[in-house]
Amino acid sequence: MGMSVTISAATEEDVEQIFRLQYLCFQSEAALYGNYRIDPLVQSLDSVREEVVTDCVQVARLGEEVVGSVRGRVNEDGAAAIGKLCVHPRLQGHGIGARLLRAAESALADQRGAKRFRLHTGHRSEGNLGLYRRVGYETVGTVRGADGVPMIILEKAAGAYAATA
């Protein structure tokens, strides 16, 4: 089709597309855990809007279509929590997820002074864990999410970019 995917900061006009995209993308995670109440599936449109306004939200675009998204927010300890990374199922496996992650890390470090990046994923999500480790994240602990799913927490220092990232 000849169009390329670009990454940029989300605007309020993207809110509905991000909302619909995460609902679609996280079905596979819900199926993996047999839990359809996971946060990305029950988050309201207003809550997504609030995140777009206050947090660092990046989107991947193919023309007018939002085909990927990620969010991040810097906590008091200087670590940025990155979450809800998702890419449209038809475009997965082409490096867009890794590009989104890099864009979120750069924006969080450059614009919001993040010193570390932290993210979490379900303990059974091997693909996600592989992607995060490849771009330099290391496991620092585990936690049980509000939805009951055991999660693995990973971190990386700002500036600690893996050679393959």
Ligand X SMILES: CC(C)(COP(=O)(O)OP(=O)(O)OC[C@H]1O[C@@H](n2cnc3c(N)ncnc32)[C@H](O)[C@@H]1OP(=O)(O)O)[C@@H](O)C(=O)NCCC(=O)NCCS
Residues binding ligand X (CB under 6 A): 25-26, 28-29, 85-87, 92-98, 121, 125, 127-128, 130-131
- Closest approach, Cβ 129 to ligand X, in A, equals 9
- Minimal CB distance residue for ligand X: 97
**CB-nearer residue toward ligand X: 83 or 113:** 83
Establish how many alpha carbons lie within 13 A of residue 41's alpha carbon, considering only the half-sphere containing its beta carbon: 15
- Closest approach, Cβ 49 to ligand X, in A, equals 20
**CB-nearer residue toward ligand X: 107 or 119:** 119
- Closest approach, Cβ 77 to ligand X, in A, equals 21
Distances, alpha carbon 5 to alpha carbons 63, 68, 104, 129, in Å: 8, 9, 16, 24
Strand 56-62 versus strand 65-74 pairing type = antiparallel
Distances, alpha carbon 109 to alpha carbons 15, 145, 156, in Å: 23, 26, 12
**CB-nearer residue toward ligand X: 80 or 113:** 80
Contact 102, 165 (CB under 8 A): yes
Nearest C-alpha neighbor of 71 from the set 103, 93, 46: 103
- Closest approach, Cβ 71 to ligand X, in A, equals 11
